[in-house]
Amino acid sequence: MTDDEAAAAVREVLVAVAPELDPDAIDDHALLRDDLDLDSMDFLNVIIGVHERTGVQVPERDYESITDVAALVDYLQRATS
């Protein structure tokens, strides 16, 4: 998965979970919980959405490392390469 494909997948999932977000305005370094105002259920829905969209399963032990958009994109790239 390329960087652009991973970023597009993440933005697609974020907008599905939080439809008020503008996908073009989501900053790569936006903190998922603070800047994008995702609560714990929203975060879990993002993780589930990423799995459904990409097939990448994110184990719970890795949740702590996924703090911002760029970290999730990077995670997807590493998991698919």
Q: What is the pLDDT along the chain (81 residues), one digit of tens a residue?
A: 899 999 999 999 999 999 999 999 999 999 999 999 999 999 999 999 999 999 999 999 999 999 999 999 999 999 998
**pLDDT given at position 81:** 86
Domains parsed from the chain with CATH numbers: 3-80 (1.10.1200.10)
| Inter-CA distances, 41 with 24, 25, 45, 55, 78, Å | 23, 22, 6, 20, 25
